[in-house]
Amino acid sequence: MHVDYIIVGLGLAGLAFTKELEEANKSFVVYEDNSQNSSIVAGGMYNPVILKRFTPVWNAIEQLKVALPFYQSLEYKFGKKYDFTIPIYRIFKSVEEQNNWFIASDNPLLANYMDADLIHKKFEGIIADFGFGKLINTGRVDTKLLLQDYRNYLSEKQLIRNQGFDYSELNISETQLNYKGVKASNIVFCEGFGLKKNPYFNYLPMQEAKGELITILAPNLAIDFALKAAVFVLPLGNDYYRVGATFNWKDKTKQPSAEGKKELLDKLNSFIEVPYKIVDHSAGIRPTVKDRRPLVGVHPKYKNISVLNGLGTRGVMIAPIAAKALYNHLEKNITLDNEISIARFQHLFLG
Ligand SMILES: Cc1cc2nc3c(=O)[nH]c(=O)nc-3n(C[C@H](O)[C@H](O)[C@H](O)COP(=O)(O)OP(=O)(O)OC[C@H]3O[C@@H](n4cnc5c(N)ncnc54)[C@H](O)[C@@H]3O)c2cc1C
């Protein structure tokens, strides 16, 4: 068997790159072993504003220009809804924050997203003495459903192998790769935190961050917007809400923990006063990078081995544009931006 590409890992990064390949009629096979689950547990929010300081997220407008049509075309492909446009209400902690919001909403980069009018309406069960700032044109992608559908689709076409990729079985020559009898022109590694086990790319400085989320049933909350205070509260429909997420830089396991749950509940209870029941608790490892930028590019020594990783806390917005950049680099020789290219870490590669 000969394919143009082998893809390792089918989270958001693998999906976005595979979609590029499909559109260009390139042949491929995907290896996926469910060892990581960041894309599956993710809250799925996209939002171009940093809600701590009310500043623009790096490159967000360009990212959204690619990401929104990307999810729309997948909705069209599978006849399902994945992208739910939903406003975000940010609870203010002080008058100073209200003023900062007002000033930030004047920034031309953010004007389409930040409503300058402050909201003073009371909502049952929400503590917000200083009111809210409203973000528009923001939303949530149901990444779990999307990945399920995409994996099933690849399965039906026999393009995915549900097995771990064994790095020691990869034979590399200048013109061809051979993995257990599959010959390929290129391989793209999209393993999320799994990168740490990849002998070709584990020199890259990933600073992973575990995140935990709970899902609650809260019939009295009745909000149709995402709420942001100490944590996010995202409406999922039928009175279910996802609450999260934590950041833990030490724990490298993807198991939900008692400490994570306590932290989420303490934070939730600081601004919610309705009864609720916890119905789910999940965790995953975000593939965050030291400089908070993606890891995209070709191996310093092997020109047919590439990486697409480092999506960090914002995989929903970054995956489509980063995948396109890698594809254009490999197939059209278009130079990668220095900010995303792994060439910026060349000095860490020891050969
Ligand atoms: C709690 C939490 C909340 C989040 N919320 C948001 C949010 O609201 N919005 C947002 O944009 N982002 C969010 N993120 C971040 C987002 O999930 C990540 O940026 C994104 O999912 C990373 O995608 P990925 O494909 O690089 O990695 P992953 O999703 O981890 O995918 C990597 C895949 O590779 C597979 N794999 C690894 N090694 C191998 C191997 N050797 N062989 C075969 N398969 C392998 C894994 O099983 C996995 O499926 C959140 C993350 C967490 C943990």
List the CATH number of the domain containing 197. 3.50.50.60
| Domain final position from 286, 310, 334 | 286
Whole-angstrom distance, CA of residue 52 vs CA of residue 76 = 35
- Distance between CA atoms of residues 116 and 119, nearest Å: 9
> Same domain, yes or no, for 295 and 282?
no
Q: Which atom of ligand 1 is nearest to the CA of 213?
A: 1
Mean pLDDT value across residues 31-58:
95
- With 80 as the cut, is the pLDDT of residue 351 above it? no
- Res 178: pLDDT: 98
Q: Which amino acid is at 173?
A: S
Residues 57 and 129 in one domain: yes
Q: Do residues 86 and 219 share a domain?
A: yes
The reply to whether 308 and 257 lie within a common domain is no
Count of domains forming the chain: 2
- One domain for residues 214 and 200: no
Which pLDDT belongs to residue 350? 85
Residues having CB closer than 6 A to ligand 1 are 8-14, 31-36, 38-39, 41-46, 164-165, 190-194, 211, 213, 244-245, 284, 286-287, 309, 311-317
Token pair 């009310």 is found at: 54
Q: What is the reported pLDDT for 282?
A: 97
Who contacts 99 (Cβ-Cβ below 8 Å, separation ≥6)?
Answer: none
Q: What's the domain range around 299?
A: 2-41+144-204+290-348
Alpha helices per DSSP H over the chain: 12-23, 38-41, 60-78, 95-104, 143-156, 258-269, 315-332
- Tokens representing 302 are 């092997």
Residue 109: predicted pLDDT? 86
Strand partners, 240: 217, 237
Question: Number of helices and strands (H, E) in the chain?
Answer: 7, 21
Interval between CA 316 and ligand 1 midpoint (Å): 10
85-108 residue pLDDT tens: 999 999 999 999 999 999 999 998
Side chain identity at 248, as an amino acid letter? N
